[in-house]
Amino acid sequence: MPIDVRRAGSAGQTVWWVNAALAQTCSPDEAADKLSDRFHGLGETPITGAAIIGAMRARGIDRLALALVESGDPLGVPGPAPVTREAVAAGLAAVSSDGTVTMIPAPGEPPLVWLAVPSSRRIDPLAQLGSVGEAQSLMREGMLQISTTMPDLEPDELALAELTEYRSWLAPLPPPHLPPRAAQLAEAALRVWWLTGVARDLSERQGLTLSQQLRELRPLARRAVAAAFSIPPELSSVGDAG
């Protein structure tokens, strides 16, 4: 799997489960079983597991939003400028709902190591993307575009290996009470993002120009991934978890 997609899926699952524990739709211990990342800057020492939830609650953080960014497209990153630059370099960030904390992961494959830094304001990726229904429609159209474009490319050994991994890939595990549309959108958008990456890289290796439709689709898929992982659990479904 392309590294950016793998990191996005891992980061998104972390955001989902942290948000579920903060909303008390699952217990901190249940969330901790799904969290392998480490967090710096939320306490005196790096923390993992249930300690993450406690540290966030102590800071008044009640929800995170995932931001997936590239140079020239820092959608969802709250600033100030140094925070935006660090997030763009990392390719992603997790932003607290009140905008006071942005968590940025160090380079490398999952599990991720995050550093919490002060930030300036909250930007809602869902509001900037549009409705979830619109995003789902875009991803359905995107899969149709990919299905008509990919057969025109002759896959090489690397592309075949990536497609084999794509077919065996399992979507991130959603927490209890997450709206089904969030999990559906996350999987669809990750798959579209993945396949457009395969097509882009294959085109470059073959000296071809990727179609305009796929070039335009890739950032839309990235934004849809961010929106899907930022959807909170349904608070109305809260039982006695926590």
pLDDT per residue as tens digits for the range 37-81: 999 999 889 999 899 999 999 999 999 999 998 888 887 888 899
Q: Which stretch, 146-150, 151-155, 172-176, has highest mean pLDDT?
A: 172-176
Return the pLDDT at 122. 61
Does residue 234 belong to any structural domain of this protein? no
Q: What is the pTM of this model?
A: 0.92
Question: Are residues 102 and 146 part of one domain?
Answer: no
Cα–Cα distances in angstroms (integers) from residue 124 to residues 11, 65, 96, 172, 231, in the given order:
17, 8, 10, 22, 10
Question: Are residues 213 and 151 part of one domain?
Answer: yes
Q: Tokens representing 5?
A: 């997609």
Return the pLDDT at 132. 84
pLDDT band for position 123 (cuts 50, 70, 90)? low
Q: b vs e for 5-44, b when ≥16 Cβ sit within 10 Å of the residue's Cβ?
A: bbbbbbbbbbbbbbbbbbbbbbbbebbbebbebbbeebee
Q: pLDDT for 170-202, tens place per residue?
A: 999 999 999 999 999 999 999 999 999 999 999
Does residue 195 belong to any structural domain of this protein? yes
In degrees and rounded to multiples of 5, residue 70 shows phi and psi of -135, 165
Is 189 exposed, middle or buried (CB count within 10 Å of its CB: 0-12, 13-18, 19+)? buried
Question: Are residues 215 and 145 part of one domain?
Answer: yes
Q: What is the mean pLDDT of residues 215-239?
A: 85
pLDDT at 84 over 60: yes
Residue reference for tokens 């979507």: 171
Domain encompassing residue 214: 129-229
Return the pLDDT at 130. 63
Domain boundary among the residues 101, 123, 145 is at 123
Distance separating alpha carbons of residues 44 and 24, to the nearest angstrom: 25
pLDDT band for position 240 (cuts 50, 70, 90)? very low
Does residue 242 belong to any structural domain of this protein? no
Does residue 162 belong to any structural domain of this protein? yes
Question: Are residues 133 and 110 part of one domain?
Answer: no
If one counts the domains in the chain, the total is 2
Domain boundary among the residues 123, 138, 154 is at 123
Does residue 238 belong to any structural domain of this protein? no
Question: Are residues 110 and 135 part of one domain?
Answer: no
Question: Are residues 24 and 95 part of one domain?
Answer: yes
Beta strands 64-68 and 38-40, pairing class: unpaired
Dihedral sign computed on CA atoms, order 77, 61, 223, 111: positive
Domain boundary among the residues 123, 154, 174 is at 123
Return the pLDDT at 124. 57
